[in-house]
A and B are shown apart, each in its own frame.
Chain A
């Protein structure tokens, strides 16, 4: 709404003569602005209903927080994205507000949609877990990961576990087998009251860096919920929202980048 207001204001106050661009002029301007943005061509996303998904909403919140901070800091030569405001609006107290110093230096933030989500359990141990996968091969050149998070929403769990505490653990899948559980590497874990709700944030920085360098090793993440006696339970009964939940509560991954090189446009 406010952006639209600014847009309208511009036409009122603009001293620049506005005229309809001819087709080839528009094409040329599009080409030049894409070049400035460092894009070889315009992206063609599949965006039906995507604007109301959790990741775009989270990113828009981040953008708004950053824009308002830039307004107040106009003049000071700080060139970084700030993340603090977003953590307070998007992440209820349930999500840990871990050290955000490294995030203040980010030049780029990117969210990734979950590509695969499978509910599984291994028959002998009846170990329940959920798999998630993210494609990190689309990261623009010259960007190095400084932090990465996996974010999943938790509602109140079903009444059966009302007084329980859950241990939610996230693993990197190292190797998959057809007849037994995959080899896993423990990444992060949290203890949560079953009655609690909100976004859960897991640190997956090291894994993301590994996947960026070795995309062939990206076999995804596994999430597992245990009650305190060690039994694993179904993710859905623990209140965790997966692919079939509301769009605004879909799990996603977010990564923060620092430009490792100056963007140079090609000489024409």
Chain B
């Protein structure tokens, strides 16, 4: 879902000169007035909704979260930003058409453990790193 939003956003950006009415609509995601600063959003991946209860024993799903929002100058004080993100922002201000803003992306990620059956009904407990967003920031 996050990706599709971003794709829509890019598509809107590229077609903005041709179809300005799309940008001013009340529900338009790309409206700069409405666009939020880079932050963590809730996203739950449900193994149960995927119909995997027969082979995944635990968990039923996990809160993966995702990062989304705008990395604009001044970068949000409480949000982590890399040194390079500041430079990227400045370059974007100088060449807004050529250089994009920094990206809103995870800065810290947690692991989850998944307990599941294999084809032979053996049970596997495996740790998967970098699955849950703990915090977002500008890169």
Contact of B1 with A3 in the complex, beta carbons under 8 Å:
no
Q: Is B44 interfacial (CB-CB < 8 Å)? A: yes
Known: A81-B125, A108-B125, A110-B124. 4 other contacts (CB 8 A): A4-B60, A16-B44, A60-B57, A80-B127
- A residues with a Cβ closer than 8 A to B are 3-4, 6-7, 10, 13-16, 21, 26, 29-30, 33, 36-37, 42-47, 50-51, 55-56, 59-60, 62-63, 66-67, 70, 74, 79-81, 107-113, 135, 138, 140
Return 23 A-B CB contacts under 8 Å, by A number.
A4-B60, A7-B60, A10-B44, A16-B1, A16-B44, A36-B128, A43-B118, A44-B55, A45-B54, A47-B121, A51-B57, A59-B57, A62-B125, A63-B113, A79-B127, A81-B125, A81-B127, A108-B127, A109-B124, A111-B122, A135-B120, A138-B118, A140-B126
Interface residues on B, range: 35 or more
Query: Chain B: which residue is nearest A109 at the CB level?
Result: B125
**Nearest CB of chain B from residue A173's CB, rounded to whole Å:** 20
**Nearest CB of chain A from residue B46's CB, rounded to whole Å:** 7
**Can you list, as one digit per residue, whether each of B110-139 has a CB less than 8 Å from chain A (1) or not (0)?**
110111111111111111110100000000
In the complex the two chains form, what is the Cα distance from A67 to B119 in whole Å? 25
Contact of A45 with B115 in the complex, beta carbons under 8 Å:
no
**Can you list, as one digit per residue, whether each of B96-122 has a CB less than 8 Å from chain A (1) or not (0)?**
000000000000001101111111111
Contact of A44 with B125 in the complex, beta carbons under 8 Å:
no
